[in-house]
Amino acid sequence: MPGLEKVDISHNEFEGPIPNTTAFQDAAKEALQGNSGLCGNVEGLEPCNPAVVDRKNSPVEPRVFVIVFPLLGAVLLFSFFGIFCIFRRKKFHPTVEQAPKTTEVFSLSKYDGKILYEDIIEATGCFDEIYCIGRGGYGSVFKAKLRSGDTVAVKKLHQTADNGQTDQKEFLNEIGALTEIRHRNIVKLKGFCSHPQHAFLVYEYLDRGSLSTILSNEEEAEGLDWNKRVNIVKGVAYALSYMHHDCNPPIVHRDISSNNILLDSEYEAHVSDFGTAKLLKLDTSNWSAVVGTYGYVAPELAYTMKVTEKCDVYSFGVVAIEVIKGRHPGDSISSLLAPLDMEISAVLRNLLDSRLPMPMPGVEDELLTIFKLA
């Protein structure tokens, strides 16, 4: 405004220093009144604070603000956007904790793996024989009372001369089968551990132990009355029906025996030991080597070598007769399958466990149905 000669800005409530031009510097007092915030070296105005004058007259600082503030805003915007994207990714694609690619893996839903591993080693005395409660085809079972007060059954794999490759396969079979199974008549897998020194599986502990152990003990067998025995057979049947018809793909156990049927405190049956289990997949071969416990394996499997649900059905029949008879039927299985000269009810009476009194009529009918199915 170099050509401006006269100004009158009175009563506008302006603030700040007046411009350093002739028109403002020579302005009359009345032309500037009514602006209490104005300052300058003019009559009627307060002198300006030097810092205010410098900031007002500085051409650099406004440019800095013009550059810095938008840049800072852009950085903050991108930061918030990045955090939002990460949060959204985690929300819709939750991270699955991968097992470490080492030989030490422990997975358990309720406990810290490392702590529980040490707890089990301590509770079993590093798998001392005094804690062993059973032996299977490829592992020994130990009872472990944890510091928490819980009791679990721990199946430790046997060490083999070929670095445990065969047992490792069975170990993974059992994990794969049991992690997908949820049934009241199938033992619950609580966790597993693969370690250079100890590979084991952790199960719920069932108080009564195996069916085989109870039947071989005179006192315990007498306590296993006919109603309990009928319910045991039904429990095993329910478990097999679930595995064969409700699982996808179907699961064939391949080692149903009295050793692999565990009983809880109420004498309810739980199928266990899935180390030889096989998933029946339509797009893969179901041919296999013969596995299972001697005396429970279907004879035709020895030459057909094909795994089907019938493998378990035959074994179930042997177990059912064993429950009725009180011991493994042995070679008498073949005579039971042969044509009979007497009524089947008479055969059943000759077969019944002599340690128990004769069953009541209603229970006898159920036993007869079981015997026919077996």
User: Which residues have a catalytic role annotated?
Assistant: 255
**How far is the C-alpha of 256 from the C-alpha of 328, rounded, in Å?**
13
Q: Contact at 8 Å (CB) between 87 and 81?
A: no
Q: For residues 84 and 281, what is the distance between their CA atoms, to the nearest angstrom?
A: 43
Matching residue, tokens 């069953």? 359
Q: Residue 227 to residues 168, 185, 234: CA-CA distances in angstroms?
A: 40, 17, 11
Distance of CA 146 to the CA centre of its chain: 20
Contact of 293 with 329, CB cutoff 8 Å: no
3-state per-residue secondary structure call for 20-57: CCHHHHCCCHHHHCCCCEEECCCCCCECCCHHHHHHHH
What pairing do the DSSP bridges indicate for beta strands 15-17 and 37-39? parallel
Q: At 177, is the secondary structure helix, strand, or coil?
A: helix
Nearest Cα to Cα of residue 372 among 352, 344, 353 = 344
Paired tokens of 224: 């296993």
Strand partners, 361: none
- Helix (H) / strand (E) element for 219: namely helix 218-223
Beta-bridge mates of residue 269: 263
